Structure 1
Amino acid sequence: MAETTKAETTESNWAAFAAAEPELAATVEARFGAFTHHVLATLRKDGSPRTTGLEVRFLGGELWLGMMPDSLKALDLRRDPRFALQANPGEGTGMGGGDVRISGRAIEVDDPRVKAAYTKEVEPPEPFHLFRAELTEVTRTYVEDDKYLVLQVWKPGAALRTVKRT
């Protein structure tokens, strides 16, 4: 098996992202922590998008997605693990910290020890599906100095890219 170099990596867990870009990771976690419910996009059987509400957790260096048993979003992710997750923008136009989105692949976790550790921290209703996120992109959009629209994009194995527009 060929060794994968950092430049070839296309996915990463939360801990690797936070180590690579600690300031952006802290901002993203704060935005998700500001509200309980966020928007998850998955793909239906026919390939069309499905958006649903979701609670997320950042625990033990991972981004976790917990879901009710046999929910449509869980079935979507079992069929096609690709997802996009957008932090709740909140009320009004404040959006402190900007608009943040995470894309990746959801990996279902069946290990009873891992689920038990998660349950100890989160206390979800039983039974439940638990997915660990492998990140393919983290994006933040915000306004700077009431003048610039700033877009930050991070992808595994690449430097943080920042674009400013007037």
Structure 2
Amino acid sequence: MLLGMMPDSLKALDLRRDPRFALHANPGPDAEMNDGDVRVSGRAVEITDPEVIARFIAEATPPEPFHLFRAELTEVVRIGLDNDELVIQSWRPGRPLRTVRRK
């Protein structure tokens, strides 16, 4: 996963200072939460290799200039509903998917 940011944006400067991040995705206006919420967390490593940046520009055509970070995931969590149960699925590198169900 790659994260592009405007030059010298507060987010980019924060990640340069402390690379830890958490990204939360909410499914939107679906009050039933059928698709669940997802949180991805890890470390963001800035990419400075000109060849990698050139490939990214060729594929994504982002507005320039920009900062580019590679996300090194440490955890992915999905929380959703299955009938009357809360379902929590979590994954960490090197470990199997873990599922917990609660009523």
TM category (shorter chain) comes to over 0.9
- Report how many residues are paired: 103
Q: Which residue of 2 aligns with 1:156?
A: 93
Which protein has the bigger strand share? 2
- RMSD of Structure 2 on Structure 1 (CA): 1.2
Note the C-alpha offset of 1:118: 1.0
In structure 1, the gaps of 5 or more residues are 1-62
Q: Which residue of 1 aligns with 2:9?
A: 71
Once the two structures are superposed, residues 126-166 of structure 1 have per-residue CA deviations (whole angstroms, 9 ceiling, x without a partner) of 00000000000000001002x10000010111111110000
Matches of 1:156 and 1:78, distance apart in 2: 23
Pick aligned residue for 2:19 from 81, 84, 88: 81
Paired residues of 2:80 and 2:87 also in contact (CA < 8 A): yes
Q: Which residue of 1 aligns with 2:31?
A: 93
Distance 1:121 1:80, change over 3 A: same
Percent identity over the alignment is 65
Tell me the TM-score normalized by structure 1. 0.59
Matches of 1:164 and 1:140, distance apart in 2: 12
4+ runs deviating over 2 angstroms: 94-97
Pick aligned residue for 1:126 from 60, 64, 68: 64
Alignment of 1:3-152 (within 5 A): 63-145=1-83, 147-152=84-89
Q: Which has the higher contact order (CA 8 A, sep 6+)?
A: 2
Moved more, 100-109 or 112-121: 112-121
Distance 1:94 1:112, change over 3 A: farther
Which protein has the bigger helix share? 1
Note the C-alpha offset of 1:88: 3.8
Distance 1:115 1:94, change over 3 A: farther
SS of the residue corresponding to residue 53 of structure 2 reads helix
